[in-house]
Amino acid sequence: MGHGVAVGLGLLVTLKVSESVLGCPPEVRRRTAALMRALGLPTRLALPESQQLIDAMEWDKKRGSRAGFFVGLRDLGEPVTDELVAALELVRA
């Protein structure tokens, strides 16, 4: 999987969490997914179990002291920081 695809899927996860936790309008995620599909990018992916992915994040070189750091959206142009919430199910096929 290329970096851009990974970023796009991560964005969909972030937007889903933002809907649940921050009240971001669902239309933001729907429009983002539609744009990704129009560009030929996947919006779903077969993933390992969530705990395996969270464990793998321990090796992320950017993790540093900000483990579990999460930036979500209250709405377009309104970023909010919060702890990482398990939303990987969104992209699990």
- pLDDT at residue 39, rounded to an integer: 94
Helix, strand, coil fractions of the chain, as percent rounded to 5: 50, 15, 35
> Is pLDDT above 60 for 86?
no
Q: How many domains does the chain have?
A: 1
Please report which confidence band the pLDDT of residue 85 belongs to, taking 50, 70 and 90 as the band edges: very low
With contact defined as beta carbons under 8 Å apart, do 24 and 73 qualify? yes
| Domain of 52, in residue numbers | 3-91
Instruction: Kindly report the number of other CB atoms within 10 A of residue 13's CB atom.
Output: 19
Q: What is the mean pLDDT of residues 79-93?
A: 58
Question: What does the DSSP assignment read for 18-38?
Answer: IIIII---HHHHHHHHHHHHH
Q: What is the pLDDT of residues 14-69, one digit of tens each?
A: 899 899 888 899 999 999 999 999 999 999 988 888 888 778 777 766 655 554 56
